[in-house]
C-alpha cells in the first residue's frame, strides 16, 4: 500500500539526508511537495552537471605546473614533480566537490560501491590516475549491474595494485584479492563450520579463485581501454595464467570452471566464475543487507 501523498518537510529531509550528500532550502521545499514516486524519479535522474577534470595548479621548485595531468600521454609518477600522494588528494577533493554540487542518488551509490569494492587512496592504490579511473568506473556502473562491475573491478588498475593481484601468477599465486573478493566484496563468509570451511565457501575455493584471477596485470600507461566503458584497465598475461580447469566445493555445487589459454578465453573464464558466485542466493542476500544497512 505505497503512499501517494506528498512527502512533506520532515520526510523530505529524511529522504535527502539518506540519498545525497547536500541539499539547500530550495531543494527541500521542492521535494516536500512531491509524492514518493516523484521524489525518487527526481533523485535517480542522471546528473546534468558534468564533472570537470581535476587540475593541479601548484608549481614545483622549477615552476612547472602539471595542470590536467591525468590526460597527458605519459603518466608515470616520475613525470609529475608534485607527487602522486598529493594528486590522489586532488582527485578525492574533485570527486567530493562535484558530489556536493548536485542532489543525486548517484553519488551516494558511488560511495556505496566504494564501500563494497574498497580501495584506499593513500595505502596501495598506486598512481593518482588509477584512483581517478577507479572512481570513473564506479560512476559508470552506479546505475548499472553489480555482477558486471564485479568483473570490471577485477581488471581495474587501482584494485590490481591495492590487493596485489598484479603479482598473482600461475607458479606464484597471490590469494589476497581472491580472499577479499569472496569475504568482503560478494558472498561473504557465513558461519564457520570447521577449519577452512566458512559455509559460503572454503579455503580451497579461495585457492581456486586465485587461479581464475591469475595473470591479470596493471597497465601503467593506461592505453588498454575497456570496450564497454572506455576507461583504462589492466591486461592479461596469458603465459602467467593458470589454464587448468578449476573445480569448486559443494558450497558452489561442485561447479567446474574451464580454464582459458587465450585472452578471450580467460575473460570468459573470469565471467563464468563471477556468474557462479552471483548465482548463489547468499550473494544476493549479502548485497541486500549492505544496501539496507547503508541506506536504511
The residue among 154, 263, 261 whose CA lies nearest residue 209 is 154
Angstrom distance (rounded) from CA 125 to CA 131: 7
Q: What is the pLDDT of residue 170?
A: 97
Angstrom distance (rounded) from CA 45 to CA 39: 10
With contact defined as beta carbons under 8 Å apart, do 198 and 206 qualify?
Answer: no
Burial 139-148 (b: 16+ CB within 10 A, else e): bbbbebebbb
The H helix count followed by the E strand count for the chain is 12, 4
Q: What is the pLDDT of residue 74?
A: 52
Per-residue pLDDT of the chain (296 residues; tens, 9 = 90+): 889 999 999 999 999 999 999 899 999 999 999 999 999 999 999 887 666 789 888 887 778 888 888 886 555 555 666 788 889 999 999 999 888 888 889 999 999 999 999 999 888 899 999 999 999 999 999 999 999 999 999 999 999 999 999 999 999 999 999 999 999 999 999 999 999 999 999 999 999 999 999 999 999 889 999 999 999 999 999 999 999 999 999 999 999 999 999 999 999 999 999 999 999 999 999 999 999 999 99
Q: What is the pLDDT of residue 161?
A: 97
Amino acid at each position: 500500500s505505497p503512499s501517494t501523498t506528498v512527502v512533506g518537510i520532515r520526510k523530505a529531509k529524511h529522504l535527502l539526508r539518506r540519498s545525497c550528500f547536500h541539499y539547500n532550502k530550495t531543494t527541500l521545499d521542492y521535494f516536500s511537495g512531491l509524492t514518493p514516486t516523484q521524489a525518487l524519479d527526481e533523485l535517480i535522474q542522471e546528473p546534468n552537471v558534468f564533472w570537470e577534470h581535476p587540475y593541479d595548479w601548484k608549481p614545483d621548485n622549477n615552476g612547472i605546473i602539471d595542470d590536467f595531468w591525468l590526460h597527458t600521454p605519459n603518466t608515470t609518477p616520475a613525470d609529475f614533480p608534485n607527487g602522486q600522494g598529493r594528486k590522489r588528494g586532488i582527485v578525492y577533493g574533485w570527486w567530493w566537490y562535484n558530489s556536493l554540487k548536485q542532489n543525486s542518488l548517484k553519488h551516494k551509490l558511488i560511495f556505496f560501491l566504494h564501500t563494497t569494492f574498497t580501495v584506499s587512496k593513500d595505502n596501495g592504490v598506486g598512481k593518482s590516475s588509477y584512483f581517478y579511473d577507479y572512481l570513473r568506473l564506479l560512476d559508470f556502473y552506479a546505475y548499472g549491474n553489480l555482477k558486471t562491475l564485479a568483473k570490471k573491478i577485477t581488471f581495474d588498475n587501482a584494485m590490481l595494485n591495492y590487493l596485489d593481484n598484479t603479482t598473482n601468477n600461475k607458479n606464484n599465486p597471490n590469494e589476497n584479492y581472491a580472499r577479499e573478493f569472496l569475504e568482503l566484496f560478494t558472498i561473504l563468509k557465513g558461519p564457520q563450520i570447521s577449519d577452512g570451511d566458512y559455509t559460503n565457501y572454503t579455503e580451497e575455493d579461495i585457492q581456486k579463485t586465485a587461479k581464475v584471477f591469475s595473470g591479470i596485470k596493471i597497465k601503467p600507461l593506461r592505453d588498454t581501454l575497456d570496450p564497454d566503458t572506455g576507461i583504462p584497465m589492466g591486461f592479461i598475461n596469458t603465459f602467467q595464467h593458470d589454464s587448468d580447469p578449476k573445480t569448486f566445493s559443494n558450497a558452489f555445487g561442485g561447479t567446474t570452471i574451464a580454464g582459458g589459454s587465450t585472452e578471450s578465453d580467460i575473460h570468459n573464464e573470469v565471467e563464468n566464475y563471477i556468474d557462479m558466485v552471483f548465482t548463489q542466493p547468499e550473494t544476493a542476500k549479502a548485497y541486500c543487507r549492505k544496501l539496507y544497512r547503508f541506506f536504511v
